[in-house]
Structure 1
Amino acid sequence: MLTKPRVTQLAVFCAVIGMFLAVPGLPDPATVALATLGIWLLAAAAFAINCLIEQEVDARMLRTARRATARGTITAPQVLGLSGLLGGAGMMVLYHGVNPLTMWLTFATFVGYAIIYTVILKPRTPQNIVIGGLSGAMPPALGWAAVANAVPAEAWVLVLIIFIWTPPHFWALALYRNHDYANAGLPMLPVTHGEKFTRLHILLYSVALLATTLLPYIIRMSGLLYLAAALALGGRFLYMAWRLYQEYSDALARQLFRYSILYLALLFGALLLDHWLQLL
């Protein structure tokens, strides 16, 4: 639970997509396996540190009160030991088994999430998700760097898509968990600016997301199959955001949050499928 495996899975999946998009054919299987392992280990280490730093906040939230750090059933030295072991192993795997660039980029992502986002941004600004979203958006660049030992513009387009996707994804959760965040004292947007303001920003970011997902086609990184998928998936995302804006309910917010996870997985899956079809 400390390493948040379900959240890590989506991040690692996006990193793997970056690996497969980085080369015309299939990437080296050993590199893919080692990079996946290293990125997963460092992500798990970052989440463990996040749980330790937020143990008092988590104890006041229904969604997170069952975490071992929140209940006090695991000590700070134990969490630090776990995080150090996982993070150190991940850095070793990436440095010696992949390349130093991937290790340093992944380590910077670890610092960005565990320290800059968790310690500095999250408790101080309602824009925490927007600013801190860069750390969560980095996996495609990490995967690309692992295979190509470089991070070209195409990789940053993928990062930008996740960066724009993050606010509406998390704000949908924050809407139906509003009281939880208020009790915890966290300045999430629905707490500081209200429900209607948050719904408007979800809608605006959904429009920006649909436009951003067209970039791979515009720069000829992908073809018509991806374009069709981006329009269909993005159109549904925008429709759900519009419904949420028009008339709020916890059920609609929950639906949008759950769909946003499926949306990102299907969008990146379509990008990979399109990439392979272009090679045939």
Structure 2
Amino acid sequence: MAINTALTLSPTFSDYWQLGKPRVVVVMLVCALVGMLLAQPQLPEIRLMFSALSGIGLASMGAAAFNHLLDRRFDRLMLRTQRRPLVTEKLQPWQVATYASLLSVLGLSLLYFEVNPLTALLTALSLLGYAVIYTAFLKHATPQNITIGGLAGAAPPLLGWVSVSGYVDGQALLLVLIIFAWTPSHFWALAIYRNEEYRRAGVPMLPVTHGLEFTQLQVWLYGWLTVAVSLLPYVVGMSGNIYLLAILLLNSRWLLMNYRVYRNEGAALMQSSRRAFWFSIRYILYCFLFLLLDHYALLLPGFL
């Protein structure tokens, strides 16, 4: 049931801010920033970085607001989303649609005119991939929604790279591949401990359609795939020994968390999946920060 206690209240800045999923966008912007800094040896122009991050951030918040709009019927059925402004009716659909459109247009315009057209185009494709292809179709059509739709969420480092270089590079695509491989374990850990909510809402997440045991196995297998992909920057010479040592330590913790998801049952499974989900966010941030640390350390003569 929807929560209607806020029907008579006026929308606030906080309500609009919540539409943009700011915590998710912060993670995306960190990945975009790392892409910028890895794209060239020297520090990119500050003004360019600010414009690119602003444009990517605004467009990402616009896509998140569209996600609220398109998912509002299902959000009413899930405990973790029942206090969203559209569910409580503090905001009306037309207000959210207007807000999402303004943010998206503003962000893409900033990227087109102040950064470069290619970044604007790739950001627009990512926005459409997340807000339309994933949210409106894939999420409710197939249990592989996360695997297929994860490409849109993996775009930030590529957007950051292209914003300062003006072209798509193989190393930038490798950064995208890391996020793409990481996404299933990340989201399916969430889906395990939110399994009943997804079932009630009729969203065909993997635990709903294939059961918990199968999903636990997929979390474990994709965890190993993430480990393999995370080592590729060292293999191809994109990073050095600092990154290798750091990612090996990080991967040991990552595999331990996912192994617990794979082996546990009952209440222990719910606890371990929740912990694995929250750790996975730190994992991807640390992975990219280690790449950045290694990148700048290699620029110091004789450091290694």
Corresponding residue number in structure 2 for 1:53: 70
- For residue 258 of structure 1, what is the aligned residue in structure 2? 278
Please report how far the alpha carbon of residue 91 of structure 1 lies from its aligned counterpart in structure 2 after TM superposition. 1.1
Residue 89 (structure 1) aligned with residue 89 (structure 2): no
1:194 pairs with 2:186: no
Secondary structure of residue in 1 paired with 2:80? coil
Confirm whether residue 233 of structure 1 aligns to residue 250 of structure 2: yes
Question: Structure 2 stretches of 5 or more lacking a match?
Answer: 1-17
Look up the match of 1:121.
138
Cα distance in 2 for residues equivalent to 1:211 and 1:169: 16
Report the alpha carbon displacement of residue 77 of structure 1 after superposing the two structures with TM.
Answer: 1.2
- Aligned match for 1:153, one of 150, 157, 170: 170
Shift of 1:150: 0.7
Mapped pair 1:104 → 2:121: yes
Paired amino acid for 1:267 = C
The Cα shift of 1:243 comes to 1.7
TM, length-normalised to structure 1: 0.99
CA deviation after TM superposition for structure 1 residue 242, in Å: 1.1
What secondary structure is seen at the aligned counterpart in 2 of 1:43?
helix
Say whether 1:174 aligns with 2:214: no
Structure-1 residue corresponding to 2:5: none
Matched length: 280
Partners of 1:140 and 1:158 within 8 A in 2: yes
The CA deviation string for residues 208-244 of structure 1, in whole angstroms up to 9 with x for no partner, is: 1000001000110000110111111112111111122
Counterpart contact for 1:25–1:279, Cα < 8 Å: no
Q: CA RMSD in A?
A: 0.7
User: Helix, strand or coil: the match of 1:63?
Assistant: helix
User: Which AA in structure 2 matches 1:33?
Assistant: F
Structure 2 CA distance for aligned equivalents of residues 254 and 128 of structure 1: 20
Q: CA deviation at 1:72?
A: 2.1
Aligned to 1:273: 293
Structure 2 match to 1:244: 261
- Match for residue 34 of structure 2 among 8, 11, 17: 17
Distance 2:262 2:70 in 1: 34
The residue identity in structure 2 corresponding to 1:196 is E
Q: Between the two proteins, what is the percent identity of the paired residues?
A: 48
Runs of 4 or more, structure 1, over 3 Å off, are: none
Tell me the SS of whatever aligns to 2:81: coil
* Aligned residue type for 2:281: I
- 1:201 Cα deviation from its structure 2 partner: 0.3
